[in-house]
Amino acid sequence: MNTQAPEQSKPSNFIRQIIDEDRASGKNQGRVVTRFPPEPNGYLHLGHAKSICLNFGLARDYAGICHLRMDDTNPTKEEQEYVDSIMNDVRWLGFEWKDKFFHASDYFLQLHDFAVELIKLGKAYVCELTAEQMRDYRGTLTQPGKESPYRSRSIEENLKLFAGMRNGEFPDNGKTLRLKIDMNSSNINLRDPVIYRIRRAHHQRTGDTWCIYPMYDYAHCLSDMLEGITHSICTLEFEDHRPLYDWILDTLKTPCHPQQIEFARLNLEFTMMSKRRLLELVEGKHVEGWDDPRMPTISGIRRRGITPEAIRNFAERVGVTKKNTTIEIELFESTVREDLDENCARAMAVIKPLKVVLTNVPENHEEWIDCAWHPKKPEMGSRKVGFTREVYIEQDDFMEVPPKGFHRLVPGGEVRLRHVGIIKCEEVIKNSAGQITTLHCSLDPETRTGMSGSNRKVKGTIHWVSAKHSLAAVARLYDRLFTVPNPADIDDWKATLNPKSLELVDTCFVESSLKGVPTLSRYQFERVGYFCLDASSQSAGQPVFNRVITLRDTWAKAQGTGAP
Ligand code: ATP
Ligand code: MG
């Protein structure tokens, strides 16, 4: 028996308690084998990430293994592109399945043979009710069902008809194989559920070998059993299916009987966790693709610049419970910020530039200022930032007629240029249309680093880049994809898409030290936000930076929805 304790730092939860008890009692010889069983009909999202962190995390902490299984029993919606993306996403999150990669379709023959066994046990029959009739016969939550007239066929006849189904003798949907359980059960899932249907669909792995396909509930428990899964963890909506899961394994007297355990699925404000709806966003071109940085998909999150560590921390923080809730977006955002603050190098970038000429700095002045990459992490080293007579500052950092409490640059006022010294605005230059084009400022040489006045206090510090030594860049300022916290609950959910979820700004300048950095490099642009270099930079011919997240929650304020 494996007695290795789970990592001390992990908070316990009810699933860990079940596993601890199982190990204490010697159940499953102390082994922990979990699985993550996505249907390859779309890209994985943050909800799946929670399930991945849970299943692979348990396997890791209990020195077990987590299988990755493609639940590919529905051939019409599944594609290799999705399989590849799923494998990529699980690996990116930091998990490994070793050689335990499976497909439910690997078991099609065994599943068929179990169905034959169920027929032989008198526990399954071939039914000819149409889908509509079957709905009628099924009854409701308050009314019992009615038995199908085909329920009492002989075992021989059922065997013959099921073989006919398999051999393509009947049209699609012409017959089904159903379990013979109990049409009076208070649990509708036990009212003779269908376990096989006829469907002449090409399967991406088994081709045209099969024209009958097993239903999820039937395939799932048997796949778990065949793989020797010990703890089959799924979301709460399957709680009512557990009696069926157990019935199938008990009736077949299988040598192994995994325990199904349900937990609450992840819901997050201002987004949606349904592959079907995410597919609609992609197909309706509301976003640029599955990996659009506004999507809650793992590929979107990755492209946005969020790290796998942040996702794992988030999964840990939301925890594992039995109660469905919607997690506040602030929890997600603060987890992302914490991770970026800790790990991102700092850099200077100006998103909407205003030219400043430092009139007392010589025209040919060229200075390389040593700036630390991270204020709290000297081990990250430093870079040289070019400083010249002409610099750009953020348009927002200057106001000709400032409101009260504006601590940045104003006519005749002073502000500190980060890493340089204090400048004073001497003159505002405008074009014929009256728009401000340039500021003429003077730099107080006594306030430069190492000089006697370097500690002189002014209210504001602003960032800048050298006009000569900076790179033109594009910034994509992403915001929440929806304007309401609960789009999934709204019938016309597409009407709640945020029209301002992407602002493209092509006027940016970033410091020259960012030249040629690899895709997905992340920075905190000081005072602006966290940014990540997008893969499209190459084809764009200039750096394209995705805003991962703002430095603070400015959103609630902008929307006028509370938070100061
Ligand atoms: P969707 O509704 O987005 O299509 P799904 O449940 O049909 O999701 P699957 O591919 O079947 O998608 O999911 C694979 C695993 O991920 C399942 O075990 C499922 O329980 C889990 N899962 C899916 N969505 C969530 C979620 N929001 N929170 C936690 N786990 C989830
Ligand atoms: Mg599913």
pLDDT in tens, the chain (564 residues): 444 444 445 678 999 999 999 999 999 999 999 999 999 999 999 999 999 999 999 999 999 999 999 999 998 887 899 999 999 999 999 999 999 999 999 999 999 999 999 999 999 999 999 999 999 999 999 999 999 999 999 999 999 999 999 999 999 999 999 999 999 999 999 999 999 999 999 999 999 999 999 999 999 999 999 999 999 999 999 999 999 999 999 999 999 999 999 999 999 999 999 999 999 999 999 999 999 999 999 999 999 999 999 999 999 999 999 999 999 999 999 999 999 999 999 999 999 999 999 999 999 999 999 999 999 999 999 999 999 999 999 999 999 999 999 999 999 999 999 999 999 999 999 999 999 999 999 999 999 988 999 999 999 999 999 999 999 999 999 999 999 999 999 999 999 999 999 999 999 999 999 999 999 999 999 999 999 999 999 888 999 999 999 998 655 555 544 433
By CB atoms closer than 10 A (0-12, 13-18, 19+), residue 491 is exposed
Closest-lying ligand to the alpha carbon of 279?
Answer: 1
* Pairwise CA distance, residues 135 & 185, whole Å: 15
**Residue 208 Cα distances to 113, 161, 407, 503, 516, angstroms:** 18, 20, 71, 48, 49
Q: How far apart are CA 419 and CA 371, in angstroms?
A: 7
Q: For the chain, which residues make up each domain, given as ranges?
A: 14-263, 345-552
Place of tokens 């428990």: 221
Q: Best substitution site from 235, 262, 263, 323 to test ligand 1's pocket, by max atoms within 8 Å of Cβ?
A: 235
Report whether residue 128 contacts ligand 1, using a CB cutoff of 6 Å: no
Provide the edge-to-edge strand list for the sheet that holds 124-127.
124-127, 176-179, 194-198, 212-214
- Best CA proximity match to 140, nearest among 192, 190, 186, 176: 186
Q: Is the CB of 69 under 6 A from ligand 1?
A: no
Nearest-ligand number for the alpha carbon of 296: 1
Q: Ligand 1, residue 275: give the atom nearest the CA.
A: 3
Q: Is the CB of 318 under 6 A from ligand 1?
A: no
Cα three-residue angle 150-154-158, rounded to 5 degrees: 70
Which position among 27, 100, 146, 265 bears the catalytic label? 265
Structure tokens that stand for 285 in this block: 């071109």
For ligand 1, whether the C-beta of 416 sits within 6 Å is no
Which CATH fold would you assign to the domain 14-263?
Answer: Rossmann fold (3.40.50)
- Residue where the block lists tokens 């000429």: 357
Q: Residue of the nearest CA to atom 1 in ligand 1?
A: 274
Question: Which fold is adopted by the domain 345-552?
Answer: Ribosomal Protein L25; Chain P (2.40.240)
pTM: 0.93
Q: Kindly name the residue from 27, 31, 39, 456 that is annotated as catalytic.
A: 39
Q: Are 387 and 369 in contact (CB under 8 A)?
A: yes
What pLDDT was estimated at residue 101? 98
CA of 18 to the centre of ligand 1 (A): 22
Rounded to the nearest angstrom, the distance between the alpha carbon of 524 and the centre of ligand 2 is 38
Catalytic residue among 175, 275, 303, 383: 275
Helices (H), 423-509: none
Structure tokens at 508: 């940016």
In angstroms, what is the span from residue 38 Cα to ligand 1's centroid? 7
| Cα gap 316→61, rounded to integer Å | 13
